[in-house]
Structure 1
């Protein structure tokens, strides 16, 4: 495993240490877990953006009816 050194602001370092203790983990493990999740999220987001750009370049856009249906679904979920 490769090592890395981070200089964190004191408040962030304290929060990381406190949360790790609360969860019975080391700060290193928690930081590694958070980074793993962040990287996976960013890879997924980047792939989705690249796919959307490709579709836009191909002239594939949602119809007015599709957009209206999406808005209706989202607004009905937010109304709960």
Structure 2
């Protein structure tokens, strides 16, 4: 395993230590877990953006009806 050193603001360092203690983990483990999740999220998001750009470059766009349907679904989910 490779080591890394981070300089954190005191409030963030304290929050990390408190949360790690509450969860019975070390601050290093919790930070590693959070970084792993963040990196996976960013990789997925980047892949989705790259695919969307490729599709746009190919002229593949949603129709007005598809956009309206998506908005209707989103609004109905958020209404409840």
Q: Which runs of 5+ in 1 are unaligned?
A: none
Give the alignment of 1:2-13 within 5 angstroms: 2-13=2-13
Q: Give the 3-state SS of the residue equivalent to 2:15 in structure 1.
A: helix
Aligned residue-pair number: 80
Task: Compute the TM-score of the two structures, normalised by the length of structure 2.
Answer: 0.99
Measured after TM superposition, the shift of residue 60 of structure 1 is: 0.1
Q: Return the alpha-carbon distance in structure 1 between the equivalents of residues 6 and 72 of structure 2.
A: 45
When the two chains are superposed, the root-mean-square deviation of aligned CA atoms in Å is 0.2
Deviations 1:3-56 (A, max 9, x none): 000010000000000000000000000000000000000000000000000000
Q: Which runs of 5+ in 2 are unaligned?
A: none
Task: Compute the TM-score of the two structures, normalised by the length of structure 1.
Answer: 0.99
Give the alignment of 1:19-58 within 5 angstroms: 19-58=19-58
